[in-house]
Structure 1
Amino acid sequence: MYTIPGHHHISMLTKDAKQNNHFYRHILGLRRVKLTVNQDAPSMYHLFYGDTTGSPGTELSFFEMPFIGRTHRGTNAITQIGLLVPTEDSLVYWQQRLANYNVKHGEITTYANRPALHFEDEEGLRIVLLAANGEVIDYWQTWAKSPVPAEHQILGMGTVEITVKRLDKIASTLQMLNYKEISRTEDEAVFQSIKGQAFGEIVIKELDGPSEKPGRGSIHHLAIRVRNHEELAYWDERVKELGFPTSGIIDRYYFESLYFRESNGILFEIATDGPGFTIDGDIATLGEKLDLPPFLEGRRTEIEAHLKPIEGDK
């Protein structure tokens, strides 16, 4: 029986790639590991941030949509991202850093039974920093050129929060994917792909009311990890057996993936660990220039004509 090793990446919507680039590189201290385009709509930037190589489980991805409106928050949406930092002392560091940059944030508290600090990016994306206290994947690599000291750098993805009208429906989907239910109350359940580990944890909150209307700062989908093509093919068949149509396996060049929506409309991606972002670049210069998958390379001139330069482009 295959298991899900944890989160792979999570994808959001941004109105302004330049502003987004500044926030995630220079304030949060992540590495921009891939500057590319939406493969289904190549006039749109697709930015990836993560650790030194954009390891699975560290990747935050953004699609730029310059004409997008604001998010109208509601249910049936992925509503918060958790990011792991090394220790509780790191939360103190980040509270001061966010204050220095006038980033909207709260007090140090707890979330999902871990020390936590909630904040929002400039577009209202809700993020919570969580003290990892040893809960990390051993191949995650700190970014040597980050403006954030190594002892306080963001390590990778932690608890992801999803809000839905029907908790039992999404619970059955996660159980089909071999997630373990860790706790349950009347209106909240916690699931983990690897028991005891935050890097594969999902908190489900039940909330009735209008569905979220996505906009800038909203979360488009959550991608979860599988190791290789064989496992991805297994899950493609398994998801279909449960009655959910899938996209079928798609070669994204940097990884293979498939997509499906569960009964509340939450979009999941299942993505392979490899080949990774170094397939068309070396580690030293990742993310410094526009990279295109081979099937789009012949359209480079046309694609570049539609994109505004971002700080750091080469």
Structure 2
Amino acid sequence: MNHNKGLHHITVLAGDPKENADFYINTLGMRMVKKSVNQDDPGTYHLFYGNEAATPGSSLTFFPWPRAHKGIAGSGEAVNVAFKVPEGSKDFWISRLKEQGISTSEWFEVFGKQAIRFEDPDGLELDLVFDGSAKEKVSNYESPVPNVYVIQGFESTRLKVRRPDSTSSILEDIFEFSEQDSNASQTLYQTDARIGSSVIIESTDEDPGRGGRGIVHHVAFRAKDLNELKELREKVISKGLQPSEVIDRHWFKSVYFREPSGVLFEIATDGPGYAVDEDFEHLGEKLILTPWLEPRRKYIESILPKIEV
């Protein structure tokens, strides 16, 4: 296994950007680690939330379209995002979510770990998985959630697919995941990364889902650097798939492809990271545009809704 393997980020379609930011910052206590725009649609925000250190394996990102229709979950999609929180935080989170008016499931187990389930404002299915201990603070950022309870990063994502064997071969042969456990319809694959280490494949005969609010757009996996990204791209080609060319996303380099069941995957480099263009202590406090979009700042700012949380 490889400590640098696992999930990099997950990107989701959302509705109102202010409602989205309020939920993930003020309710879940995540840090906005980058406030930018969709590089392919600069009139739309791209909001990045992560742990305090903004590390790979912690970033849940959103394209919020206020007029977007509600999506329909189905096959060929990631249908669940699970966060890792400290083991001793169960009572805190149940109480906090109840106070915020958020309905949660009863306790249940996900491959031996206790969890609760709820939805974000757009219907994205979220789990909190209680595993591990709190980490020491590394910045001056003050979350609304005390550090002893705060979200540490991803625990897992669950892919609902019609061709589980084909999807599992991508996880194992390209991303170095290993099968760890299974039940009637789901199989757990893991690396030994501290966060973002798990993917659950759920076999289904459901029809394909429909994009919209609350639906995962893509799941990104880690590459150490540009050289490894290129190597992984060649592995994707060897599987008979058609990856994109390497794309410069400024904070990382990326390659995109659809795995055999239709889930959109991205491979993203760990660096240079979110602090390449703003001070680490002030991540997410102002709108950051990539160098090629900076000349259009005045226009872009004029059409984006204001976000205050």
Match runs of 1:18-97 below 5 Å: 18-87=18-87, 89-97=88-96
Q: Which SS does the other structure have where 1:92 is aligned?
A: helix
In structure 2, the CA distance between the partners of 1:121 and 1:262, relative to structure 1 (3 Å rule), is same
Which TM-score applies when normalising by structure 1? Answer: 0.93
Shift of 1:184: 3.5
| 8 A contact 1:55–1:140 mirrored in 2 | no
Per-residue CA deviations over 1:134-164 (Å, capped at 9, x if unaligned) read 5x9x899577410111110000011111111
Aligned to 1:183: 181
Which residue, 242, 245, 250 being the options, matches 1:248? 245
Quickly say closer, same or farther: Cα 1:260–1:2, change in 2 above 3 A.
farther
Q: Give the aligned residue type for 1:11.
A: T
CA distance in 2, matches of 1:141, 1:113: 30
**1:230 Cα deviation after fit:** 0.9
The corresponding residue for 1:150 is 147
Aligned-pair CA distance for 1:183 = 2.4
Correspondent of 2:190 among 185, 189, 192: 192
Instruction: Please report how far the alpha carbon of residue 79 of structure 1 lies from its aligned counterpart in structure 2 after TM superposition.
Output: 0.6
Q: Which amino acid aligns with 2:151?
A: I
- CA distance in 2 between partners of 1:153 and 1:211 (Å): 34
The one-letter code of the counterpart of 1:100 is E
Q: Give the structure 1 partner of residue 209 of structure 2.
A: 212
Match of 2:17?
17
The residue that corresponds to 1:108 in the other structure is 107
TM-superposed CA distance for 1:284, in Å, is 2.2
Deviations 1:99-158 (A, max 9, x none): 000112112221122111111111111011011225x9x899577410111110000011
Q: How many residues align?
A: 308
Separation in structure 1 between the aligned mates of residue 208 and residue 304 of structure 2, nearest angstrom? 32
**CA positional deviation for 1:199:** 2.7
1:132 aligns with 2:131: yes
Change beyond 3 A, Cα 1:180–1:265: same
Query: Is contact 1:15–1:216 with CA below 8 Å preserved after alignment?
Result: yes
Matched, 1:166 2:163: yes
User: Which residue type is aligned with residue 202 of structure 1?
Assistant: V
Aligned to 2:284: 287
Pairing 1:267–2:281 present: no
Q: Report the Cα offset of residue 3 of structure 1.
A: 7.8
Alignment of 1:229-244 (within 5 A): 229-244=226-241
Of 180-189 and 89-98, deviating more is 180-189
Can you list the C-alpha shifts for 1:202-260, whole angstroms capped at 9, x where unaligned? 11111102111121111111111111111101001111111111111111111111111
Which structure 1 residue ranges, 5 or more long, are not aligned?
Answer: none
Q: Matched residues in 1 for 2:4 and 2:281: separation?
A: 30
Query: What amino acid sits opposite 2:236 in the alignment?
Result: V
Assess if the C-alpha contact under 8 Å between 2:57 and 2:195 holds in 1.
no
**Superposed displacement of residue 185, structure 1:** 4.2
SS at match of 1:299: helix
Q: Give the superposition deviation at 1:91.
A: 1.9
Residue aligned with 2:148, SS: helix
Task: Report the residue type matching 1:190 in the other structure.
Answer: L
Query: Offset at 1:12?
Result: 0.5
Q: Structure 2: which 5+ residue stretches go unaligned?
A: none
Residue 256 of structure 2 aligns to a residue whose secondary structure is strand
In terms of mean alpha carbon deviation, does 118-127 or 51-60 score higher? 51-60
The residue type equivalent to 2:33 in the other structure is V
Please state if 1:277 is matched with 2:299: no
Q: CA deviation at 1:64?
A: 1.2
SS class of match (1:149): coil
- Deviation at 1:2? 7.6
Tell me which amino acid in the other structure corresponds to 2:6: G
Question: Could you tell me which amino acid in structure 2 is paired with residue 220 of structure 1?
Answer: H
* Matched position secondary structure for 1:90: helix
Whole-Å separation in 1 of the counterparts to 2:224 and 2:283: 22
Distance 2:58 2:138 in 1: 9
